[in-house]
A and B are shown apart, each in its own frame.
Chain A
Amino acid sequence: MLANYGYKDASGDFFITIDTDRCNGCGDCVTACPAHIFVVVDEDPNDPMREEPVAMVGADKNKKLKYECNPCKPTWDRPPLPCVEACKAGAISHSW
């Protein structure tokens, strides 16, 4: 399942996509993110039949992604994003 967390408003699209088929719930993204936007949960609330842990964007950060992710996204000379780098399974992607 592609889980898109975030929102769309008049200033653009701000979505972080987690591919839950690739995510193994290791938690590397939780420690890698300087803004602590990721959490690992034992039961995926979007997929009750899944039994393995999975990463998701915390409910308190969901509506603030534009601001929370801003420090990692300078306008030029953009280094690789720490969350995308940290995810060995390649499950995380950003829409902006």
Chain B
Amino acid sequence: MTEEKKQEFWRWTESNWANPDMEWNKAKFITAGIDVGSVSSQAVVMADGEIFTYANMRTGSDSPNSARNALNFALKATDMPEDRIDYCVGTGYGRVNVPMADRSVTEIACHARGANFIYGPEVRTVLDVGGQDIKAIQCDEKGRVTNFLMNDKCAAGTGRGMEVFADLLGVPITEVGERSFQVKEEPQAVSSTCVVYAKSEATGLLRKGWTTEKVLAAYCRAMAERIYSLVERLGVEPAFAITGGMAKNMGVIDRLMPMIGLEPAKTKWDTQIAGAVGAALFGYALCQKGKGRKDTKREKQRMTSDK
């Protein structure tokens, strides 16, 4: 029997990055933030509140392992040993399953803080479109959350739904945005809210003779509309920043921004690391307050070994 190897259209490349000029030896506090999401995991290591290294990977079926892999992948780009990390904060869906975390913080607080760092302090509204949920957050100039709204009721309007569509239509996930604009006229949005139903609706549209591009356009529009209905409830104040994987999908973002009537803020950083950056910054702030030094960690270890 011969087996045909099928291309995984939803797969995106995992990456890591380190700042080669950073002198981590001289840093007072090294903190790590690990964001284990439903689809992707990120680890960021910061030296005195500056990004030293990060990694962006796919979450497998095992959250603790994903956290470990992401941190190892980030440290692989550097020569720093893991035990140099003073404080580690876990965040995201799998935050309670990060084995090396000293504390867990919700992704809402982390994304606001992270966006404040990677997009700059003028950001007032943060939209995080992740693998499984949408979060709209308002924050002040210090990145403190003032109002938030989250929709995690179902996967519609999120990254995982887009992956399902990429796979269904045989379009690599990175090309979805571009391909969705190759239509003569903009179609109506896919009406189903649920990804499973939207998928069967798309199959029906393909049978009716719609091109792949037209179906992509209809789904991107549906996502943009769904995201807008949540953002509208919270209200939008400039500057407006988008974090998470969906920020890389221009098919959705270019349809969403005219509805909001603003330009999205720009950054040189990977938008997916915002949550982990926020977590590492919280770790740094807790260290500065004297709450998170090594001794507390050692004490914890001693307590567990006594038992």
The interface of chain A, by Cβ under 8 A from chain B, is 1-4, 7-10, 13, 15, 45-49, 63
Contact = CB atoms under 8 A, between A and B. Distances in A.
Given A2-B146, A2-B148, A45-B104, A7 B153 contact: yes
A1 B234 CA distance: 13
A69 to B, nearest CB: 15
Contacts of A63: 152-153
B109 interface: yes
Query: DSSP class of B's interface residues: helix, strand, loop or mixed?
Result: mixed
Given A46-B108, A49-B285, A8 B148 contact: no
A52 B109 CA distance: 17
Nearest to A13: B233
Given A45-B109, A48-B105, A49-B285, A7 B152 contact: yes
Interface residues of B, number: 24
Contacts, number: 51
Nearest to A3: B148
Contacts of B105: 45, 48
Contacts of A48: 103, 105, 109, 282, 285-286
A45 B149 CA distance: 15
Given A45-B109, A48-B103, A48-B109, A4 B229 contact: no
A49 to B, nearest CB: 7
A45 B193 contact: no
B153 A46 contact: no
Contacts of A8: 151, 153, 229-230, 233
Given A4-B149, A7-B151, A49-B282, 5 more contacts: A1-B144, A8-B229, A9-B153, A48-B105, A48-B286
Contacts of A10: 193
Contacts of A1: 144-148
Interface in B101-116: 103-106, 108-109
Interface of B: 103-106, 108-109, 144-154, 193, 229-230, 233, 282, 285-286
Contacts of B148: 1-4, 46
A77 B109 CA distance: 39
Closest CB pairs A-B (n = 6): A7-B153, A2-B147, A45-B106, A4-B149, A48-B105, A46-B106
B154 A9 contact: yes
A26 B254 CA distance: 46
B207 to A, nearest CB: 25
A94 to B, nearest CB: 14
Nearest to B104: A45
A4 B152 CA distance: 12
Given A8-B233, A48-B286, A15 B152 contact: no
A45 B105 CA distance: 5
Contacts of B152: 7, 63
